[in-house]
Amino acid sequence: MSMVSALARVQAMESMTAMTVTAYRHRRLSDRPLVVIPLTMAGETGAPLAAMVGASKRDATLLVVEQPRNRDQRFAFAAALGERVMDYINSFRQDRRGEGERSWYSDAPQLLVPNTGGIKALADLGRMCRFRSTTGPYAVADVVPEFGMWLTFLVERAEQEGTCLLLPVTGMLTEHWATGQSTLEDQNLASLMAWISPPPGTDVAQAMADAESPDICPPAGPTTSPQFDNRDLAPAIKRFDAAHTAGDPVALAAAQAELRELIAEQIQPTWRMMWDAISLLRSVPEAPRAAARFGRDCAAFTSYSDYRDAGGLPQRKKDTAIGAARRLDRLEQALVEFEFDMAFDDPFVLADRRSAGEAFAGTVVAADPGRVVTKASTRRVLRPLVTIRTDDPVRLAADTELASPHMPAGHKAKIVSVLPDDDSTLVTVEITGGMGRALVPKPGSVPVLDHYIAYLPDPGWRPAAEFPASDSTPWTHHSPAQAPDADATEAKNAAAEGWGHDD
């Protein structure tokens, strides 16, 4: 945690008010997101209990599994939820722009869940559904495997920083507000909202106390409160089982209604809180570079849509060694680019990076705007030198490529030297881009004396990492799952697996 982040949390604790830590919202928020609140049964891995889903506050659909241990009911639940989610996803597969390989959908779906646990629940659901067969003794509805594959795509996309196809609302809130509680407590949506926007007439302390009471603010999932499970849920499921065994339609209907009412009481407060949080997030202006990241999301959505239209196979259960390396490379690059975008757009985030020595800002104390150097090819190029005095700690090495939010687009520089000067630091940088092709820089393209300017490391473009071919994997990273017919065998075996017992 940086000094600025720690200070914001201390100030929040002293003032008992959430502190703003960014000037912008760095995630795209769709005009019509699909809110999904999954609940799972405690102690039953991957066994769904219920879900509330809808694209508006008044358009809520509650789906309940009366007996989460019953396989048929679980897959009926998956089919019903899958139909709703796939209808939403397919509504974005209409307006396509461009031609050929450079065409893509102009918009993309966005699923919002309460917290990171909700993403994990959807990941489990996708893993359980995507290999299921629609024929044979363990047949499921046609929508189930398709739903599972799309869920897996969304979950994998959510692993990359800066994407917005599947997001936890708690994560979006904590990117913009700092509270006086721990990061683990920030995963509690009710507690987080108590800090940011307590109910009218209630202070933060009372709102937090209410948030910690499962009777006033039931958990946002994916698991329910143990108190609720023991006191209400378990007896209600037993009454449902007894009515189902006895074959009493009246008692069965009453038991089903009781279960729906109990679960609705648990999930509806979170539903209202989710839409309140969305309204809060809409009030925060979107960061300038969020649009470009959303464009990449649209491209990824289009690519996977085309893959599914072409009959693409389900995702692997486990990556191969090379596949895992490629995934790690993508995630690392996405993280670096997202952190750069945030700092470039947002002065608050830039100040955070400056406090950690990962960026600097100061006043120009010396400048040589007409400096020209001769390259090895005997070509003369313009390379001005600028020296900046800064009071920030600077932990950047020579030759670090830099960009500045205070200069025109295309401005590039690199560090020449970093020298201490009493209580300050003198950083000399060489301007390398954004000045035009002549030997005289364009007006405004080179910082001038007494100009206040900030710089941060520029990740820039890098070529895709190269990895060995699959048949060149060392034996230390080889497994039977990499055999040529592994995918077909895995899909065949998965059809016979019980829900939650496929390891």
Boundaries of domain holding 382: 347-457
Are residues 353 and 313 located together in one domain of the fold? no
Question: What's the pLDDT score for residue 473?
Answer: 73
Rounded to a whole number of angstroms, the distance between the first and last alpha carbons of the chain is 37
Inside any domain, residue 13: yes
Inside any domain, residue 272: yes
Are residues 284 and 366 located together in one domain of the fold? no
Question: What's the pLDDT score for residue 490?
Answer: 45
Are residues 428 and 371 located together in one domain of the fold? yes
Inside any domain, residue 496: no
- Which residues contact residue 324 at a Cβ distance below 8 angstroms, ignoring those fewer than 6 apart? none
Are residues 115 and 157 located together in one domain of the fold? yes
Inside any domain, residue 307: yes
Are residues 237 and 93 located together in one domain of the fold? yes
Inside any domain, residue 483: no
Inside any domain, residue 377: yes
Half-sphere exposure in the Cβ direction for 96 (13 Å, CA): 15
- Which residues contact residue 115 at a Cβ distance below 8 angstroms, ignoring those fewer than 6 apart? 168, 169, 170, 171, 187, 188, 189, 220, 221
The per-residue pLDDT for range 350-381, each reduced to its tens digit, is 999 999 999 999 999 999 999 999 887 778 89
Residues 407-417: b if buried by 16+ CB within 10 A, e if exposed? beeebbbbbee
Query: Could you give the CA distance from residue 56 to residue 31 in angstroms, rounded to a whole number?
Result: 10
Inside any domain, residue 335: no
Are residues 389 and 251 located together in one domain of the fold? no
Q: Residue 433 maps to which CATH number?
A: 2.40.30
Question: What's the pLDDT score for residue 498?
Answer: 42
Are residues 309 and 355 located together in one domain of the fold? no
Query: Could you give the CA distance from residue 481 to residue 324 in angstroms, rounded to a whole number?
Result: 14
Count of domains observed in the chain: 2
Digits of tens for pLDDT over the chain (503 positions)? 677 788 899 999 999 999 999 999 999 999 999 999 999 887 766 688 999 999 999 999 999 999 988 889 999 999 999 999 999 999 999 888 888 778 899 999 999 999 999 999 999 999 999 999 999 888 999 999 999 999 999 999 999 999 999 999 999 999 999 999 988 889 999 999 999 999 888 889 999 998 888 888 888 889 888 888 889 999 999 999 999 889 889 999 999 999 999 999 999 999 999 999 999 999 999 999 999 999 999 999 999 999 999 999 999 888 888 888 889 999 999 999 999 999 999 999 999 999 999 999 999 999 999 999 988 777 889 999 999 999 999 999 999 999 999 999 899 999 999 999 989 999 999 999 999 888 899 999 999 999 999 999 999 877 777 888 777 777 676 655 544 444 444 444 444 444 433 33
Inside any domain, residue 110: yes
Are residues 316 and 413 located together in one domain of the fold? no
Question: What's the pLDDT score for residue 369?
Answer: 93
In degrees to the nearest 10, what's the CA dihedral of 105, 106, 107, 108?
30
- Global pTM reads 0.90
Distances (CA, A) of 312 to 93, 175, 306, 492: 17, 36, 9, 16
Are residues 134 and 241 located together in one domain of the fold? yes
